[in-house]
Structure 1
């Protein structure tokens, strides 16, 4: 698409980052992203925590990121910069491009997305709470509560349902459904193992005496639990170069403490959930971030060519959105 539009290929990583590392990952209420799921057992919330503030943050990230990329593309075009790799004339179709008539309709494409959000909402708010879940309090099931695990259940049900519906709607397009499912299951193993290892690594780090010193110093920077949580998650996400890893370490170490501080101050746990998610998507996208490095490698580019734009859309604007949410919560409360 960039080649056909004769747009600079150095903007491709930032464009992908805007759609993957920002508002869809940490801001939009109901998002099944792991960064939106990790806070749920710590604060007994669901994926729709602080929906109004999440929407505002998401819109700001998307608007600022889109305007920035369009400005950069406009300046490049004015300077005579094209795709940079034997770009064809504008409007010339790529030989590998799929004819429009062979693509699924927009309705088919958007249906699974709508189903994930709708089913997640229905199960989180209405269905799971009405189930008989007293058995969760027994040692066999970890002495937990439905408020700690219900959000995760809702996301799993929503994702499975959306996958089944997508297969049904596009059945004739599959050459081998079993092979596609196998490849999808195998592909899921890497992120599952990554997140699992990050959580385990976080548990080890949180138990170290040296980390206790750093934790106490960070917690001593402010008495405001919302601001304090934002600082700790951002710092740890930046150090680890991982949104989920940094947030896991932070919440294992201070999640319960900040929950108690927030409750004592009359603050809703929902704002802790949303700020933790937003903070995880701030400094995580520094140059050493694994996703950033992988994205640049896939695009055949380097940090010098593309990282500045990645920084703007995936670090600067998310941090701005997080600050706005904290200010709005301080003025109007959680909504």
Structure 2
């Protein structure tokens, strides 16, 4: 009884501290102390065994995925420093016009994140440009924030096949699948998220106009607008700017196409069996193409690479901390009772996957953290129940991208902090496009898989 109460108290403490803006590593360490002590886990095992080095330990995760985080962050920084990311955003804006500002934000964020640019780099790229868009189109800042969240943190993160996102790689590494597993189901879920999400945002924009609500300036807008390309500044063309992303995706896709065509070669087997290394290699090739294509980058290459390495550390540490939190939680009897309850629910296995991955990601406020814990603790039971690894890969990914964006989510807090928004002002719209609609998309995929299976 005391252990169960301690588990609940530790989870509540993590959520409260995260909402108050406390550093996630500090919040996690305090929370696992409460959980561990109340469950009579020796302190030395909490901090020197289960949290850092267990199967779901922080350093175990960080060691396995350091290269991917590093390559992704360096590629993102190179795309920003070369002005390729801005070139894509401005070119799309010129093609679609400011009246389609929400579509612009969503599409550019989706293109960048699908190509491997990390979410935080995408936020910093889109907000400065977005100031101009919001002013011209008179868009409430809360809706622009939701458009960024929709493009950067939903369907390209968990649904679309082939992306080098950490979520896709975690599932592939855990299940022995490749980055295209459950591809058609992912496309279906991605279309639902993108189209229904944009329908919601466009509807809300029209309602805001009818109510007289529009763009309201904020002190952060002026600060970020200074980072946008100056008027008349020469930016790379859309085709040239997008080429590094094409290189990344082609490096991932071509081995898959060759294998499907019956070609056999050691490098193709390596690409399929080593998702972390191959995705990292693809990002490195993307970075190399940036070096070749953009002369300003060559003048300051090592400084940019160093900045990219710095960019990788905070997301890696924060994600690893959340996973280490799960590494302690799964040692408790309360978690095992919870897992048994989930597995014993009188519902189809795919519905159980949807519920369990969602709940674990909601508890940790992290899709990647929740997915890693799900894969290490519950996935074997679902495989034994007869779910195909490829289907489990995609359904678990989609489900993990639902409740991960609750108010204590680090990505949500970072976006609101960047844009000077409060949860009261903006969370409702972010909740709809990053929680409610992704959960709907996952359920549609589950229903389709059950009908076709």
TM-score over 0.5 (shorter chain): yes
Indicate yes or no: 2:303 matched with 1:179: yes
How far apart are 1:71 and its partner, in Å? 1.3
Q: What is the aligned partner in structure 2 of residue 325 from structure 1? A: 445
> Does structure 1 conserve the Cα–Cα contact (< 8 Å) formed by 2:153 and 2:434?
yes
How far apart are 1:200 and its partner, in Å? 3.3
Q: What is the aligned partner in structure 2 of residue 256 from structure 1? A: 380
> Does structure 2 conserve the Cα–Cα contact (< 8 Å) formed by 1:202 and 1:252?
no
Q: What is the aligned partner in structure 2 of residue 300 from structure 1? A: 420
Q: What is the aligned partner in structure 1 of residue 265 from structure 2? A: 130
CA distance in 2, matches of 1:311, 1:4: 26
Q: Compare 104-113 and 280-289 and name the one that shifted more.
A: 104-113
Q: Could you say if the C-alpha distance between residues 19 and 173 of structure 1 is closer, same or farther in structure 2, counting changes exceeding 3 Å? A: same
- Alignment RMSD: 2.5
How far apart are 1:100 and its partner, in Å? 5.9
- The number of residue pairs the alignment matches comes to 312
Q: What is the aligned partner in structure 1 of residue 357 from structure 2? A: 233
How far apart are 1:126 and its partner, in Å? 4.8
CA distance in 1, matches of 2:237, 2:213: 34
Q: What is the aligned partner in structure 2 of residue 140 from structure 1? A: none
1:159-308 aligned within 5 A? 159-172=283-296, 175-222=299-346, 224-262=348-386, 267-308=387-428
Secondary structure of 2:212's aligned partner: coil
Indicate yes or no: 2:218 matched with 1:72: no
1:86-165 aligned within 5 A? 97-99=229-231, 102-123=234-255, 126=258, 130-131=265-266, 149-165=273-289
Secondary structure of 2:180's aligned partner: coil
CA distance in 1, matches of 2:241, 2:267: 36
Cα-to-partner distance string for 1:243-268 (whole Å, 9 max, x where unaligned):
11111112111111212212xxxx42
> Does structure 1 conserve the Cα–Cα contact (< 8 Å) formed by 2:146 and 2:429?
yes
Q: What is the aligned partner in structure 1 of residue 186 from structure 2? A: 54
Cα-to-partner distance string for 1:180-238 (whole Å, 9 max, x where unaligned):
11100111112222333333333332232221111001111145332222111100111
Indicate yes or no: 2:175 matched with 1:63: no
CA distance in 1, matches of 2:276, 2:376: 17
Q: What is the aligned partner in structure 2 of residue 90 from structure 1? A: none
Higher helix proportion (structure 1 or 2): 2
Q: Could you say if the C-alpha distance between residues 100 and 280 of structure 1 is closer, same or farther in structure 2, counting changes exceeding 3 Å? A: farther
Q: Could you say if the C-alpha distance between residues 64 and 155 of structure 1 is closer, same or farther in structure 2, counting changes exceeding 3 Å? A: same
CA distance in 2, matches of 1:129, 1:322: 34
> Does structure 1 conserve the Cα–Cα contact (< 8 Å) formed by 2:248 and 2:286?
yes
Ranges in structure 2 where 5+ consecutive residues have no aligned partner: 1-132, 220-224
> Does structure 2 conserve the Cα–Cα contact (< 8 Å) formed by 1:12 and 1:299?
no
> Does structure 2 conserve the Cα–Cα contact (< 8 Å) formed by 1:44 and 1:147?
no
Ranges in structure 1 where 5+ consecutive residues have no aligned partner: 88-93, 134-144
CA distance in 2, matches of 1:169, 1:132: 27
CA distance in 2, matches of 1:148, 1:210: 37
> Does structure 2 conserve the Cα–Cα contact (< 8 Å) formed by 1:41 and 1:148?
no
How far apart are 1:82 and its partner, in Å? 2.0
> Does structure 2 conserve the Cα–Cα contact (< 8 Å) formed by 1:43 and 1:259?
no
CA distance in 1, matches of 2:347, 2:395: 16
Q: Could you say if the C-alpha distance between residues 181 and 146 of structure 1 is closer, same or farther in structure 2, counting changes exceeding 3 Å? A: closer
TM-score (norm 1): 0.85
Q: What is the aligned partner in structure 1 of residue 435 from structure 2? A: 315
Secondary structure of 2:274's aligned partner: helix
How far apart are 1:132 and its partner, in Å? 8.4
Q: Could you say if the C-alpha distance between residues 86 and 236 of structure 1 is closer, same or farther in structure 2, counting changes exceeding 3 Å? A: closer
